Amino acid sequence: RVLFRSNFVYAGLAASHIGGENTSFFIKEEYNIHRRYTLNVGSDISMNDEHQTWFCPKLLGMMQGSQKEITGGFSVKNKVMFKSQYTNYQKELMFSLGAYYRFADAVIVLARFEYNNLSVGLSYDYTLSSLHKNANAGSAYEVTIAILNPLKRGEIRRNYNKMPKFF
């Protein structure tokens, strides 16, 4: 028997500041910024045959010069169906709760709603490192608003423009 159905796995790698731009404010001084490498890996794993609940582990790694950051964790996503009492119209809403750990720095808890092509999230970043102890600061609320890909999994649109849209 297959343990998980309709699984979705993704991975991405990015490099920033490829040319090592000069970031100095002075004409005769040169300070080249270090390249930044980012690795993002995650998955959406269906936990039941109805695809109502998803387990979503994620890992983010970044490196720039001598600075390194690794954040890992998971969220549980649940689908809620809204159905009209008088018609057969149905609409789905996805709700996620999760926890992440930024190694040697912070714990992050989050809640997120996805409706149509819009995602709205609220997270709290609680700093555990010496930054919190020494400066009595560092913890923060964060609000995320994202526009999601309009294509559903497995759906292909004939004339879909794959170019990004910038606002």
Looking at the chain, the whole-number percentage of residues with pLDDT higher than 90 is 34
CA distance 66 to 18: 16
Q: Whole-prediction pTM value?
A: 0.76
pLDDT above 60 for 2 = no
CA separation, residue 82 to residues 48, 50, 60, 91 (Å) = 19, 16, 33, 5
Q: Judge whether 72 and 100 are in contact, CB under 8 Å.
A: yes
Q: What sign does the CA torsion over 65, 67, 73, 79 have?
A: negative
CA distance 42 to 45: 10
Q: Per-residue pLDDT tens for 117-160?
A: 889 999 999 888 776 666 566 688 999 999 877 655 555 555 45
Res. 11 pLDDT band, cuts 50 70 90: confident
